[in-house]
Amino acid sequence: MVWNIQFQFAGLIMALVVLAMTLSQKRLNFAAEKAFTKLLIGVIMCVIFDISSVFAINYRGYIGDTACFIVCKVYLCSIVAVAFLSARFAVAEIRHVFKKFWVDITIVPLVIEGIILCIFPVKIHLGENELYTYGIPVYFTYLFCALYIAATFIMVLILRERINIKRRFAIYFWMVSWTVVATIQFLNNQILLVGYAMCLACMYMYCKLENPEYHIDFATNVFNRKGFRMIMSENIKKHEDKAVVSFAIGDINMVNEIFGSHAVENIICAISEFADGIPNSTLFRIEDNLFCISIDNPSETEKALEQIIKRFELPWTVGGASIEIPVYLSYAESILSFKDVDELEEVIHFFAQESKKLSPGDVLCVNEDELKARQKNLEMQHALEWAFHNDSVEVFYQPIYNIAEGRFSAIEALARIRDENGNIILPGDFIGFSEKNGMILKLGEVMFRKVCEFIQRNHIEEYGIDYVEVNLSVVQCMQDDIARTLKNIMGEYQIPPHKINFEITETAAVNSRRLMERAMNELITYGSAFSLDDYGSGYSNLAYVVKLPLKIIKIDKLLTDAYFTSEKVKTATEYTIEMIHKLGMKVVVEGVETEEEYLAFKKLGVEFIQGYYFSKPLPKDRVLNYIQEWL
């Protein structure tokens, strides 16, 4: 008898250990994980049949030829089955890119192998020191294995950009090692290494790729960010819809300061244990205090949210004390709204921060409207960044008509940005966004420098222009050093300060009154002046108008239009203009578009008119020529 099965037993033990470790861990059951489990079970069965075939051949006289040949044929078929399963595993991540026909056709060699094994006999050689099978079925077994290996290698090579690099090289290792060992066994039948090589390759891939612990957060025993990206990427590619609830835990720093880091770990674990118990869902810990729940059936999202809200209404026990922990919730109705997992994760982080602007327990729904708004913001951010980088921030100027002198005596600087396609983007589209994300500070400085450069190069006094009006945003007005910054820029371009008239809004005056008054006084002392812009569109609080050192009040277009449609507004506007004059300030009426409007406000004694009746905002290379035509 010949018992050269030491390697098979060693390999079998190795594979069984890998299987035990695989099944003992929490699993996400994504395609590659399921394919690996099937492959591992296939390898184990193949090695068992390999060992069984050795026993069958050695005890052929006891069990009979028929039983012996059946066992040997089953073993040969299991080898091709492993080759088939390895091909399926290799492309598990990208199986969705193949048409169903090409996926189904991969089983054909295995079916043919089964037919050949049924038709042709297997021959057995049992020598003094060697034992092996041969014949047509054995040759076809080698042929089909080679076919599967070659096809797998070619597919992975062609689609390498779609396959994770670690997986790619693990598959190459499997294919090469199996090819080398099979060649050795084919040339030297005394060495039975194929089964052992399969088991060794499975151990390698488990350690390199398929260990479920790679997707587990050890502190909480829930799935981690890597697991989230893996399963969400697969769901999106395969168009398997899920809803995703994300929740950020608040006041963790406070808990850490009062109770220590151990208490933080306990409370995070308690919250994880609760959230992990929500039915028909999978919990992921994305960051320290940010969790995501994948809801298998999107229609059950409201139930999950209700459970979370109700639980966080109750206190959590920390260090023997009960404290309330705030939770900030947002959810995406469908992951199929995203082109890939990178976009999904980016949106989750974005709206996790946005949800913190709501009251704890309120829910921010990431629906189509929210996604469109976010996309618009991203496009605007890109447009602003591109404009800064490519010097595409432009300043248009709108002439302001001096009624008493019958000429244009001032111009207002208005920001525009030009996108990559050369299209002009108007302030209404980017000012609000740039104020929210802080880009307004850079925009304000870039624009003011361009205004100073324009004044320096064009000698505006020769065109009758006494000053240029420059808008200061709410965010700029909240900066401690705003006055110093503006003075430094005027000094850099050697601009006489009286040629600059700064415009502030009622919102800026209300929200940053102390800082604003200090900056105004400093700039007025320096030689500049101030106007209040958009009067009538905001608070219209006369107390602020009286207290601020303003030179001009600009009546907003909303009030201008309403003057001709509402008697109450008309009366209020007339009293407002009279009051402003009595306070020693002048009036600019904005948004005047017709002769009727011009004559009506001229009759009220306002000093300045601004609007399309005289001119729309013009580029820097046209505005002075236009003004010169009036001289």
* pLDDT for position 538: 56
Residue 551 has pLDDT above 90, yes or no: yes
Work out the widest C-alpha separation in the chain, in whole angstroms: 125
Confidence category of residue 508, pLDDT binned at 50, 70, 90: low
- CATH number of the domain within which 519 lies: 3.20.20.450
Least confident of 193-207, 344-358, 394-408, 503-517: 503-517
* pLDDT for position 428: 84
* pLDDT for position 96: 65
Least confident of 81-95, 134-148, 324-338: 81-95
Whether 549 and 428 map to the same domain: the answer is yes
Instruction: Answer with the residue of higher pLDDT: 541 or 484.
Output: 484
Both tokens of residue 285? 């810990």
Whether 190 and 74 map to the same domain: the answer is yes
Whether 430 and 525 map to the same domain: the answer is yes
For the residues 517-544, what does the mean pLDDT come to?
82
CA separation for the pair 165, 171 (Å, rounded): 10
CA nearest neighbour of 130 among 43, 70, 57, 182: 57
Whether 53 and 131 map to the same domain: the answer is yes
- CATH number of the domain within which 284 lies: 3.30.70.270
Least confident of 53-62, 157-166, 299-308, 321-330: 157-166
* pLDDT for position 264: 85
Give the torsion through C-alpha atoms of 546, 549, 551, 557, to 10 deg. -60
Confirm whether 372 is domain-assigned.
Answer: no
Whether 201 and 134 map to the same domain: the answer is yes
* pLDDT for position 550: 92
413: enclosing H helix or E strand: strand 407-418
Distances (CA, A) of 6 to 27, 190, 191, 487: 33, 12, 10, 87
Whether 238 and 349 map to the same domain: the answer is yes
Beta bridge partners of 414: 396
Confirm whether 371 is domain-assigned.
Answer: no
For the residues 20-49, what does the mean pLDDT come to?
87
Residue 1 has pLDDT above 50, yes or no: no
Whether 538 and 575 map to the same domain: the answer is yes
Confirm whether 170 is domain-assigned.
Answer: yes
Confirm whether 571 is domain-assigned.
Answer: yes
Beta bridge partners of 452: none
Whether 123 and 142 map to the same domain: the answer is yes
What angle, 0 to 180 degrees and rounded to 10, lies between the N-to-C axes of helices 225-237 and 341-355?
120
Residue 527 has pLDDT above 90, yes or no: yes
- pTM equals 0.62
Residue 129 has pLDDT above 70, yes or no: no
Confirm whether 138 is domain-assigned.
Answer: yes
Confirm whether 1 is domain-assigned.
Answer: no
Confidence category of residue 543, pLDDT binned at 50, 70, 90: low
Whether 533 and 438 map to the same domain: the answer is yes
Of 210, 227, 250, which marks where a domain is finished?
A: 210
pLDDT tens digit sequence for 182-207:
787 777 666 667 788 888 888 888 88
Which range marks the domain in which residue 228 is found? 214-366
The angle subtended at Cα 482 by Cα 477 and Cα 485, nearest 5°, is 150
Q: What percentage of the chain exceeds 90 in pLDDT?
A: 48
Residue 628 has pLDDT above 50, yes or no: yes
Whether 157 and 292 map to the same domain: the answer is no
CA atoms within 13 A on the CB side of 206: 21
Q: What are phi and psi of 27, to 5 degrees?
A: -130, 145
Of 331, 366, 401, which marks where a domain is finished?
A: 366
What angle, 0 to 180 degrees and rounded to 10, lies between the N-to-C axes of helices 6-24 and 194-205?
30
Residue 554 has pLDDT above 80, yes or no: yes
Whether 88 and 223 map to the same domain: the answer is no
Of 325, 341, 366, which marks where a domain is finished?
A: 366
Q: For the chain, how many structural domains are there in total?
A: 3
Distances (CA, A) of 395 to 210, 332, 620: 58, 40, 7
* pLDDT for position 600: 95
The pLDDT mean for the chain works out to 87
Confirm whether 510 is domain-assigned.
Answer: yes
pLDDT tens digit sequence for 421-434:
888 988 888 888 88
* pLDDT for position 412: 97
For the residues 227-243, what does the mean pLDDT come to?
89
| Full DSSP string of 289-324 | SEEEEEESSGGGHHHHHHHHHHHHTS-EEETTEEE-
pLDDT tens digit sequence for 432-473:
888 877 899 999 999 999 999 999 999 999 999 999 999 998
* pLDDT for position 259: 80
Q: What percentage of the chain exceeds 70 in pLDDT?
A: 95
For the residues 379-399, what does the mean pLDDT come to?
92
For the residues 392-417, what does the mean pLDDT come to?
96
Confirm whether 245 is domain-assigned.
Answer: yes
